[in-house]
Homo-oligomer: A and B are copies of this chain.
Amino acid sequence: MNLPISCRQCPLRGTHAFSPYSDEEIDFIQGILAHQVNVKAGTIFLHEGDDGKQLYTVLSGWAFRYGSLSDGRHQIFNFLLPGDFIGLQHQLEEASQHGVEALTDLTLCVFPRDGVWDLYRTHPALGLDLTRLCAHEERIVDANLLSVGRRSATERIAMLLIHLYKRAERVGLAGSDDLDFPLTQQHIADALGLSLVHTNKTLKRLQKSGFFTLAEGRLKLVNPAAMARLADYPAWPLRAHPLI
């Protein structure tokens, strides 16, 4: 747990990825923010079945949401990057139906549930923005469901890599032509509904064909246009997101 850095100095707000807020709004968010926490890679900081008394914004690092069956099979629903909000899914439930695990070391802004209610009451525009964030999350899950339900293994992998690359790039995580990519092949398999072995073989084959390289935790899209064609990647316009 750290002393919170000032929200006005929030490094994320500097990028073009997020909609601008007034100083008053930013100060209000700062006011309901309880504190910041650091979470070690691999930690499950929200378990399936937990009650969600707190909500979070990812300040830095990667995480993922997942669900599981009682025999241990599990599925990653979505990856979480800086700026993503966590907890709307269970704020009114006594039991969360998904877990959230840190993929890398993580810094989170922590909001108590009551603060969120204050937000709706006193800053309706921010309330609407929270709904927008929630709706955006759902669109990502929709897109993943379309992949897992209808795309081949090859197409799924191309889709996931492009999509994560774009998302990471927009929040400033990409280098000049590549990206720190913390997923293991197991994570990719868990997100795409594939077995680890088949993920490995497909990944290899695509790299041999010159679509991308993925080694030592770095991802580089060698031929993004061909990947987009392969994945039937939709050219959605990038828009500024709310950042709470």
Contact = CB atoms under 8 A, between A and B. Distances in A.
Contact of A145 (B75, B92, B232, B237): B75
Interface in A41-81: 65, 67-71, 73-75, 77
Q: Looking at A144, A149, A234, which has the most chain B CB atoms within 10 Å of its CB?
A: A149
A69 B124 CA distance: 36
A120 B121 CA distance: 9
24 contacts: A69-B146, A69-B150, A69-B232, A73-B150, A73-B151, A88-B134, A89-B139, A89-B142, A90-B135, A92-B132, A92-B239, A94-B237, A95-B236, A97-B139, A97-B142, A120-B127, A124-B124, A127-B127, A130-B131, A134-B138, A144-B145, A145-B148, A148-B193, A149-B192
A58 to B, nearest CB: 17
B67 A146 contact: yes
Interface in A138-160: 138-139, 141-146, 148-151
Interface in A177-193: 192-193
A97 B143 contact: yes
Nearest to A48: B234
Interface residues of A, number: 52
Interface of A: 65, 67-71, 73-75, 77, 88-95, 97-98, 117, 120-121, 124-125, 127-128, 130-132, 134-135, 137-139, 141-146, 148-151, 192-193, 232, 234, 236-237, 239
Taking the full assembly, how many copies of this chain does it contain? 2
Given A67-B143, A121-B124, A130-B131, 11 more contacts: A69-B146, A73-B151, A75-B149, A95-B236, A97-B236, A120-B128, A124-B127, A131-B131, A141-B145, A148-B193, A150-B193
Q: Looking at A89, A117, A146, which has the most chain B CB atoms within 10 Å of its CB?
A: A146
Q: Looking at A73, A88, A138, which has the most chain B CB atoms within 10 Å of its CB?
A: A138
